[in-house]
């Protein structure tokens, strides 16, 4: 899956089903055809017991903060995911094959932290009913645990 971040960067999600992992890469196309890697994850395990997860990261590249959220969704009731960033911007997440990602680039302020302050993930069913809300304190819903815990 590819998601445009801004400033010419894209977030690539690579799925390795054979080893049960997924990875993200921040990349930029140089000279119109060469990809240059600007960072990413070391890989996260795919776990069928995870109904929804909320993992994020970011990096300051130049004067810009490149932020992203990725995760798994294995609840068939979920039809859409929305991120509300700490500055109030709302963004729909791209979903494909039980995984999702969303990314953006904002101009970095002096001493701005990379950690997600009040960013939240909202999961909705096909009728627009809220199913789950995740944030930095609650990052995962599992099928092998009580959904409402």
In this prediction, residue 129 carries a pLDDT of 97
pTM score of the predicted model: 0.78
Q: Are 36 and 28 in contact (CB under 8 A)?
A: yes
Q: Are 73 and 49 in contact (CB under 8 A)?
A: no
105-119 as b/e: b if 16+ CB within 10 A: bbebeeeeeeebeeb
Q: Are 88 and 54 in contact (CB under 8 A)?
A: no
Residue 119: phi and psi, rounded to 5, are -65, 140
Q: Is the pLDDT of residue 114 over 60?
A: no
Average pLDDT (87-107) is 89
Q: Are 67 and 104 in contact (CB under 8 A)?
A: yes
Q: Are 99 and 14 in contact (CB under 8 A)?
A: no
Tell which wins on pLDDT, 136 or 146: 136
- Gap between the Cα atoms of 80 and 78, Å rounded: 6
The burial of 21, by beta-carbon neighbours within 10 Å (0-12 exposed, 13-18 middle, 19 or more buried), is given as: middle
In this prediction, residue 38 carries a pLDDT of 58
Q: Is the pLDDT of residue 7 over 70?
A: no
In this prediction, residue 63 carries a pLDDT of 83
Contacts of 118 (CB under 8 A, 6+ apart): 86, 135
* Segment 22-71, tens digit of pLDDT: 777 666 665 555 555 555 566 788 888 999 999 888 777 778 887 889 89
Q: Is the pLDDT of residue 115 over 60?
A: no
């Amino acid at each position: 899956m590819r998601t445009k971040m801004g400033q010419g960067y894209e977030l690539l999600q690579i799925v390795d089903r054979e080893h049960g992992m997924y990875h993200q890469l921040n990349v930029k196309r140089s000279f119109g055809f060469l990809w240059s890697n600007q960072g990413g994850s070391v890989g996260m395990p795919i776990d069928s017991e995870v109904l929804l997860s909320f993992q994020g990261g970011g990096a300051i590249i130049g004067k810009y903060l490149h932020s992203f959220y990725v995760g798994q969704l294995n609840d068939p009731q979920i039809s859409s995911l929305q991120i509300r960033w700490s500055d109030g911007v709302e963004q729909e997440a791209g979903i494909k094959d039980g995984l999702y990602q969303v990314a953006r680039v904002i101009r970095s302020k002096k001493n701005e932290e990379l950690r997600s302050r009040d960013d939240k993930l909202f999961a909705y069913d096909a009728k627009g009913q809220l199913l789950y809300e995740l944030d930095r304190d609650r990052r995962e819903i599992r099928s092998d645990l009580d959904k409402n815990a």
